[in-house]
Amino acid sequence: MNLSSNQLAYNLFDLHSVAIKRGLEQDGYFILKNDEFANLVIAAKNEYFSQLSELELHPQKSRLDRKSLTRRPWRKLAIGSTNGVGEPYAQFLTTTYFSENTSGLEALNKVFSTLLELRNRLFGIPHVLESDGIWDACRIHHYPRGGGFMSEHRDTHFPKVLGTSGMPFLQVSACMSKRGADFHTGGGFVIDKHGEKIDLEAYGSIVMFDGNQRHGVDCIDLDTLPDYTAHTGRLAAFTNIYEILS
Ligand SMILES: [Fe+2]
């Protein structure tokens, strides 16, 4: 997909950029609801679940070959008392990495490209180039029922990586599951600039927050056992800038 032709992102930016920037500055977060994007999320979620049984689940320490992503998504377990780059907060989820150009996954591609284009337009930056030593990590965080969680934290590693580039570390994500249907208790939250805990479970919405605000995911459905293949749980799509490690 040609990112420059993402009309949905352009429309969202044109209609909401003032409110988004004001919300991020005043509250540290903004939740954007749009019917077209919500319909896209429903289709993308079906595509994600259609892939699940075909994707090998790799262990936490496995290394991703990002160049393989245009052929096939790549799924890993993210579990432990630290995250994948050693930051000291505990987590339990699976992460599936995607290209934004995977054939057969058009709705997912469009969700990612819309999030990327919106982020880029909000900050007036070009599409991230691998030659800059960074890349756009498009992925779905899947918190299984039966204990999926991420401890409350601030993002510290990647803002440091981006320190020399001058780019802010804005989290731009899509809420891809519905509390009450896909899971029942727990979910994503951010502590806003006024100290209030804000529930981020707004199915089909674009959820944006400053990674410097404390945030996390409260335990999902502790009354059951985890099943990595189940078409349930808490899902969110992210498109962060990562550094290239090799
Ligand atoms: Fe984070």
- Domain CATH code at residue 202: 2.60.120.620
User: How far is the centre of ligand 1, averaged over its atoms, from the C-alpha of 214 (Å)?
Assistant: 8
Q: Name the domain count of the chain.
A: 1
User: How far is the centre of ligand 1, averaged over its atoms, from the C-alpha of 153 (Å)?
Assistant: 6
User: How far is the centre of ligand 1, averaged over its atoms, from the C-alpha of 52 (Å)?
Assistant: 24
User: How far is the centre of ligand 1, averaged over its atoms, from the C-alpha of 209 (Å)?
Assistant: 10
Residue 2 pLDDT: 43
Q: Which of 228, 211, 184 is nearest to 55 (CA)?
A: 228
What are the tens digits of pLDDT across the range 62-106? Answer: 988 888 888 889 999 999 998 877 788 999 999 999 988 888 899
| Long-range pairs of 78-86 with CB within 8 A, sequence gap ≥ 24 | 78/141, 84/60, 85/157, 86/157
User: How does the average pLDDT of the chain come out, rounded?
Assistant: 89
User: Which domain covers residue 78, as residue numbers?
Assistant: 3-243
User: How far is the centre of ligand 1, averaged over its atoms, from the C-alpha of 174 (Å)?
Assistant: 14
State phi, psi for 127 to the nearest 5 degrees: -60, 135
∠ CA 1-235-237, rounded to 5°: 30
User: How far is the centre of ligand 1, averaged over its atoms, from the C-alpha of 216 (Å)?
Assistant: 7
